[in-house]
Amino acid sequence: MKYYILAGEASGDLHGSNLIKALLNVDNDADIRCWGGDLMQDAGGTLVKHYKERAFMGFTEVIMNLSKIFKLISFCKSDINSFKPDVVVFIDNSGFNLRIAKWAKAQGYRTNYYISPQVWASRASRVKAIKRDIDKMFVILPFVKSFYKKYDYDVDFVGHPLIDAIANRTPINELEFRKAHNLENKPIIALLPGSRKQEITKMLTVMLSLIDDFSEYQFVVAGAPSQDFEFYKTFINNKNVHFIPNKTYDLLSVSYAALVTSGTATLETALFKVPQVVCYKGSAISYHIAKRIITLKFISLVNLVMDKEVVTELIQNDFNKTRLKAELTKILDTEERHNMYLNYYELEQKLGGKGASEKTARLIYNHLMS
């Protein structure tokens, strides 16, 4: 079978790579063409466009790049028609993918979606279009299946692929890791400022402002695969700050606490059982627009899955040095850490067991064969 897979950022590249591996196991004749990143290419997909070429964040950034986005959409449609896949598989990235899905369905292509667009967070009216344009939906969060059920749309809950990604990684030796990266013999506070330049710029300066107040800890910035060190250098000018690129999981596995930009990283941090403070700050325009359309009580996946505040969220104006210092101090306290650990273990149970990628690949293949 021929599969055309569309992912749009670092997390989508990770999940897409595991899906590609699983599809190749399920279908010996699988021919996979994809939009994603290095991981999807290394897994066996033929990479068409890298997600770095369309990493636009927020409403204002999208508007400024509309011409480029429309050209990418046009190219994508042409490339799909040239490849003639048996199924187009969309991974998250709703702004781009739902436009392609509408066109692909009208052209007669089978359409599958892995990792639902966040219609459960805002603009639930899009469910009507999803039901029309998507043949099969595979969701990775338990509450999303319940959400779609309210709209009479039956979707498959396959569990969360992060559980597999973390369980299957090669464990590291902490002493060797510290030596390789010249880290001091202090507890590590990991800084995960995001993957896009716009968010890193807004997040990292505030995160780094705490260094002098926590001199007994080692602060380490997790570098995103989508950015070069030269970009980070403008923010990292303290000898007590270390930078480690493309090894976020290794870093989390040896960290004592973390400051994390809202997104998939909050869930990854929780699955590594690292106490965290969730942070987010967007442009003023993007924030005020989002406030009017997002209907959720929380922004972090940890709190959303648990349906209660497990981790503190510092959003927009609350994300400042004073508040961040206070919340970091809290999660360094033994009792606070113990309570967070208990919630993290419950969270993992709610996310289902291992095998999300394999379940999804099997469902996609069986649907094609039916």
Q: What is the pLDDT of residue 229?
A: 87
Same domain, 217 and 321: yes
Compute φ and ψ for 113, nearest 5 degrees: -125, 125
- Number of domain units in the chain: 2
Both 56 and 110 in a single domain? yes
Q: Which residue, among 136, 159, 19, has the nearest Cα to 87 in the 3D structure?
A: 136
Q: What is the mean pLDDT of residues 68-88?
A: 94
In this structure, are 362 and 266 located in the same domain?
no
Residue 76: pLDDT band (50, 70, 90) is very high
Instruction: Out of 115-119, 164-168, 220-224, give the one with best mean pLDDT.
Output: 220-224
The answer to whether residues 50 and 129 belong to one domain is yes
**What stretch of H or E contains 362?**
helix 356-369
Looking at the structure, tell me whether residues 202 and 138 fall in a common domain. Answer: no
**57 has pLDDT over 60:** no
Where in the sequence is the domain holding 115, given as residue range(s)? Answer: 2-159+355-369
pLDDT of 288: 46
Tokens of 98: 């739902």
Question: pLDDT tens, 134-145?
Answer: 999 999 999 999
Q: What percent of the chain has pLDDT over 70?
A: 92
pLDDT surpasses 70 at 290: no
| Among 34-43, 49-58, 188-197, 308-317, the least confident range | 49-58
123 shares a domain with 20: yes
Q: What is the CATH number of the domain that holds 339?
A: 3.40.50.2000
The whole-number pLDDT of residue 340 equals: 96
pLDDT value of position 60: 52
Instruction: Judge if 242 and 220 occupy the same domain.
Output: yes
Q: Are residues 123 and 249 in the same domain?
A: no
What's the rounded mean pLDDT across residues 335-356? 93
pLDDT band at 181 (very low <50, low <70, confident <90, very high): very high
- 158 pLDDT band (50/70/90 cuts)? very high
Q: Are residues 360 and 342 in the same domain?
A: no
Which pTM does this prediction carry?
Answer: 0.80
- Residue 333's identity, in one-letter code, is D
Query: Looking at the structure, do residues 116 and 262 belong to the same domain, yes or no?
Result: no
**Shared-domain flag, residues 211 and 313:** yes
**Residue 36 has what pLDDT?**
95
Same domain? 203 vs 315: yes
Tally DSSP H helices, then E strands, for the chain.
Answer: 18, 13
How high is the mean pLDDT of the chain? 90
| CA-to-CA separations, 279 to 16, 57, 101, 136, 194, in angstroms, rounded | 26, 16, 32, 34, 10
3-state percent helix, strand, coil for the chain, nearest multiple of 5: 50, 15, 30
